């Protein structure tokens, strides 16, 4: 079946530093990868959608300068949180799918704590 | 843009009682998909139910939901709650305008106690 491995599961970083999280698709080709953030007491908010061979589309309030994403092939995607501050804490989730006829499969999330 | 509104916060039930988690949505697309995801702590959210067909009941693992486009609703139900149903439940919507990426509701925490 389709699986998405996301790592690390949780991380702590000092304020002003950066951290990178990765997602690996297993059992299918991740043509599209969506990155979400769930801040405390909030729902999953879309950061950006990455589709292979297309430009990465960022949602309002999220920028490439802050959340650069790499999607180099059909099995891997990474996102970095640059200069993390307290408001960046939360659960970051990646979801991937193969085609328009398939549902997104989600990773288990990366919980970011900023101190 | 799309939005999803669901029963917020915490729902506490006694085992054996029926479950009903509300979900309503807004979208301009008539062919949108509605989903219910289950999220257990430290695990991946996984798809419980999905539907894009009006007035058709969808069932999986004892849960069911019927998409009603006239009222823009997709409520999640189960006739008898089990302890193992305790989890976070997210209603979500996807449509062709957004490349089918899900838009999530705020989530409902269901706690089933003996």
* pLDDT over 90, % of chain A: 85
Q: What is the mean pLDDT of chain A?
A: 94
Cβ separation A49–B106 shorter than 8 A: no
Please, which residues have CB within 8 angstroms of residue A27's CB and are 6 or more apart in sequence? A1, A2, A3
For the beta carbon of residue B24, count every other beta carbon within 10 angstroms: 16
Give pLDDT, residue B88. 95
Contacts of B44 in chain A (CB under 8 A): 4, 6, 105-109
- Under the banding of pLDDT at 50, 70 and 90, the label for residue B21 is very high
Pairwise pLDDT comparison (B101 vs B103), residue with the higher score: B103
pLDDT digits (tens, 9 = 90+) for B37-79: 999 988 889 999 999 999 999 999 999 999 999 999 999 999 9
Q: In order of start, what are the domains of chain A with their CATH numbers? A: 3-10+24-99 (2.60.40.10)
Please, which residues have CB within 8 angstroms of residue A96's CB and are 6 or more apart in sequence? A4, A23, A25, A28, A30, A32, A33, A34, A77, A104, A105
pLDDT digits (tens, 9 = 90+) for A41-61: 888 999 999 998 888 999 999
Burial grade of A57 (CB within 10 A; 0-12, 13-18, 19 or more): middle
B105 touches chain A (CB under 8 A): yes
What architecture (CATH level 2) is domain B3-113?
Sandwich (2.60)
* pLDDT over 70, % of chain B: 98
- Under the banding of pLDDT at 50, 70 and 90, the label for residue A28 is very high
Give pLDDT, residue A40. 87
8 Å CB contact between B24 and B8: no
Strand B9-14 versus strand B108-113 pairing type:
parallel
Least confident span in A9-23, A43-57, A73-87, B92-106: B92-106
pLDDT over 80 at B19, yes or no: yes
Which is nearest to A43 in space by CA: B4, B12, B44, B42? B4
- Under the banding of pLDDT at 50, 70 and 90, the label for residue B98 is low
Token pair belonging to A53: 């061979």
Mutate which: B100, B106, B107, B108, vs A, most A CBs within 10 A: B100
Token pair belonging to B13: 């039930």
Give pLDDT, residue A81. 98
Give pLDDT, residue A108. 92
Which A residues, 25 through 64, put their C-beta within 8 Å of a C-beta on chain B? Answer: 32, 34, 36, 42-44, 46, 49, 51
Please, which residues have CB within 8 angstroms of residue A60's CB and are 6 or more apart in sequence? none
CA dihedral B105, B111, B112, B114 (to 10 degrees): 180
Give pLDDT, residue A35. 97
Token pair belonging to B49: 């139910």
């Amino acid at each position: 079946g389709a699986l998405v491995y996301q790592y690390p599961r949780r991380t702590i970083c000092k304020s002003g530093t950066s951290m990178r999280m990765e997602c690996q698709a297993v059992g299918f080709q991740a043509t599209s990868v969506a990155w979400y953030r769930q801040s405390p007491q909030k729902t999953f908010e879309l950061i950006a959608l990455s589709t292979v061979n297309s430009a990465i589309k960022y949602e309002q309030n999220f920028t490439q300068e802050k959340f650069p994403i790499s999607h180099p092939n059909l099995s891997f995607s990474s996102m970095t949180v640059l200069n993390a501050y307290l408001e960046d804490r939360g659960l970051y989730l990646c979801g991937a799918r193969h085609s328009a006829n398939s549902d997104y499969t989600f990773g288990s999330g990366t919980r970011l704590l900023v101190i | 843009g799309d939005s999803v509104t669901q029963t917020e916060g915490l729902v506490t039930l006694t085992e054996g009682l029926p479950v009903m988690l509300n979900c309503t949505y807004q979208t301009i697309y008539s062919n949108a998909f509605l989903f219910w995801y289950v999220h257990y702590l430290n695990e991946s959210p996984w798809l419980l139910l999905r539907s894009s067909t009006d007035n058709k009941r969808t069932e999986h693992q004892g849960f069911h939901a019927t998409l009603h486009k006239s009222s823009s609703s997709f409520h999640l139900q189960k006739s008898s709650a089990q302890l193992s149903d305790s989890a976070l439940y997210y209603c979500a919507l996807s449509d062709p305008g957004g490349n089918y990426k899900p838009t999530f509701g705020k989530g409902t925490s269901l706690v089933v106690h003996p």
